[in-house]
Amino acid sequence: MQALVDELPRIWQGFQLTLFLAVVSGALSLVFGTILAAFRVAPLRSLRTFAGAYVEIARNTPLTLVFIFFVFVLPSLGFILPLGRVPAIIALTAYTSAFVCEAVRSGINSVAVGQAEAARAIGLGTVQTLRLVVLPQALRTVVPPLINVLIALTKNTSVAAGFAVVELTSTSRALARDNPADVVMLLTGIAVCYLIITIPAGIAANAIERKVVFSR
Amino acid sequence: MSGNVLYDAPGPKTRRLERIGSIVFAVILLGLLAWMIKGMADRGIFDDRWAVLTDPPKGQDAEDVWKSLLVTGLGATLKAAVVAAPLALVLAFVLAILRTSGVRVVRAVAISVIEVLRGLPVLLMMLFALLAFGLSSFQAVVIGLTLYNAAIVAEILRAGLAALPKGQAEAGTAIGLTRGQTLRLVQLPQVVRLMLPSLISQFVVLLKDSSLGFIVGYPELLNAMKTNYNFFGSDSRLPLFLVVAVVYLTVNITLSRLAVYIEKRLSSRGQKPVATGLATPNLGKTKV
């Protein structure tokens, strides 16, 4: 127990970095993922194909491999990124955007066809149909899966531990090395840090989902 | 297709505009791609670095390189996945049964276990096994994959149980089966069939997560790649990376397609686990 109290500052530092990675790449993924989703429902075939290919590749590649690309492969081609947070954020964003895209797209598709048809019948254009009728409804169905994507992102920030970023999981390794007698206690402390983020977020996602289902 | 809800069926004029727009964007995208490849070509990606795949330097055989990647590396990746998947499935059955138990305390314990396992990074579980219990890297990878996926699969099975018509369990009780027998003989066989697509996509997730072995020092596919490029020098990183990426994409996309195919077959027979909106858990759609 004493070891846990003594190491609290280091755990706190790791926690902050984990949160930083999750928030920054989360925000970026939401932006890029939504743009990708717009591409996927666009009338232009080339955009649809591009976004579809990107999503298919990103979703079927392990995140570790994405990290390896940005940390080891790109520099070997002469594109030197600063080590640490920057490639981690790029890798997490590139990977998570694909999942955001799928969540947003399935949200758009979940709005019943009749809604858009009714909107067109009363003379709304494409943009008005989207803005006034489809998106407000899509947004509600999209929020729970998006929260789940962000939960997964929070857990995925741990992969950065393998690539010179001292976030929570990486901290746990250092703590275990420095306090061989209290490894279980310290790792449990680290685990609690993750659960503080993921469990409340999961409960929120479920609560919102239940509400949305009933309002349909 | 996905977009056609949002706008009227286009007339000839719009179609022509769309085709032109599409071509313009295609040219822009291809131009960007060409520009990137040109940038890389200036840095020499089309030099002799690709020889590592056909006629590697340092007196090595191409056969050895491919063998180390596809036999040793991919073999170790598949070994971890194939050992972990059945273990996860067994543990998931136990968790799902406890989770739907009639005893409140049992249910509460099962829920807490599932929530904790779902809420932790797989890598942390592997490190737990590695550092706290001093297991080997293979055991750590298998344990991490097993525990995490057991929790997810337990939720998939529970959703399947909830989606099954009530009459199935009632019929089991009516002919005098116990709850365990009803589960084993009536409900679970149907649930596994019903949820097969979700189970296959979860196996893809498991396969992807086995790459975390790279970080805990298990000599799987990515580590095999690293060993190779450390030996052949940093110029060989791109070719080796592309090989590994293509291997992963081929295996995973094949499995994903299989899941979609089975799903289609099931739904064309009218066996689809969509009874209520609540029955399909959102975790099934967002496997990250």
* Interval B218-231: pLDDT, tens: 999 998 898 888 88
Of A108 and B273, the structure prediction assigns the larger pLDDT to A108
State the average pLDDT over residues B181-192.
89
Pick from B120, B131, B245: which is nearest to A191 by CB?
B120
Helix (H) or strand (E) holding A208: helix A183-215
Of B62 and B195, the structure prediction assigns the larger pLDDT to B195
Instruction: Note the residue count of chain B.
Output: 288
Q: pLDDT tens digits for A169-200?
A: 889 888 888 888 888 888 999 999 999 999 99
Of B205 and A137, the structure prediction assigns the larger pLDDT to B205
Q: What is the Cα–Cα distance from A171 to B113, expressed in whole angstroms?
A: 24
Predicted pLDDT at B40? 77
Cβ distance B115 to A200 under 8 Å? no
Q: What is the Cα–Cα distance from B183 to B178, expressed in whole angstroms?
A: 9
Q: Taking all residues of chain B, what is their mean pLDDT, rounded to a whole number?
A: 84
State the average pLDDT over residues B114-118.
93
**A199 part of contact set with chain B, CB < 8 Å:** yes
Most confident range, picked from A195-209, B82-96, B188-202, B271-285? B82-96
State the average pLDDT over residues B196-215.
92
CB atoms within 10 A of CB B37: 12
Cβ distance A73 to A54 under 8 Å? no
State the average pLDDT over residues A165-170.
88
User: For residue B175, with 0-12 CB atoms within 10 Å meaning exposed, 13-18 middle and 19 or more buried, which class applies?
Assistant: exposed
Predicted pLDDT at B287? 53
Interchain pair B208, A60: CB under 8 A: yes
CA angle B155, B156, B159 (to 5 degrees): 85
Q: pLDDT tens digits for A62-95?
A: 999 999 999 988 888 777 778 788 999 999 999 9
Q: Evaluate if residue A210 carries a pLDDT over 90.
A: no
Lowest mean pLDDT among A24-33, A147-156, B53-62, B243-252: B53-62
Cβ-Cβ contacts under 8 Å, B45 against chain A: 77
Predicted pLDDT at B124? 93
Count: domains in chain A = 1
State the average pLDDT over residues A23-27.
95
Q: Evaluate if residue A32 carries a pLDDT over 70.
A: yes
Q: Evaluate if residue B283 carries a pLDDT over 50.
A: no
pLDDT-derived band at A8, boundaries 50, 70, 90? confident
pLDDT-derived band at A17, boundaries 50, 70, 90? very high
State the average pLDDT over residues A194-215.
83
State the average pLDDT over residues B86-109.
92
Range of the domain at A161: 2-215
Q: For A97, name the nearest residue in chain B, comparing CA atoms only.
A: B288
Predicted pLDDT at B288? 57
Interchain pair A183, B131: CB under 8 A: yes
A6 to chain B, closest Cα gap in Å? 19
pLDDT-derived band at B5, boundaries 50, 70, 90? low
Predicted pLDDT at A207? 87
Q: Evaluate if residue A28 carries a pLDDT over 90.
A: yes
What tokens were used for B43?
A: 């840095």
Cβ distance B148 to B118 under 8 Å? yes
Predicted pLDDT at B228? 84
What residues of chain A, 7 to 36, have a C-beta less than 8 Å from chain B? none
Write the CATH number for A23. Answer: 1.10.3720.10
State the average pLDDT over residues A30-49.
88
Q: What is the Cα–Cα distance from A111 to A125, expressed in whole angstroms?
A: 17
Lowest mean pLDDT among A57-61, B37-41, B59-63: B59-63
Q: For A161, name the nearest residue in chain B, comparing CA atoms only.
A: B215
The share of chain A scoring above pLDDT 90, in percent, equals: 40
Predicted pLDDT at B46? 73
Q: For A44, name the nearest residue in chain B, comparing CA atoms only.
A: B22
Q: Evaluate if residue B2 carries a pLDDT over 50.
A: no
The model carries a pTM of: 0.86
**A105 part of contact set with chain B, CB < 8 Å:** yes
What is Dmax (Cα atoms) for chain B? 76
Pick from B29, B119, B235: which is nearest to A194 by CB?
B119
State the average pLDDT over residues A146-169.
91
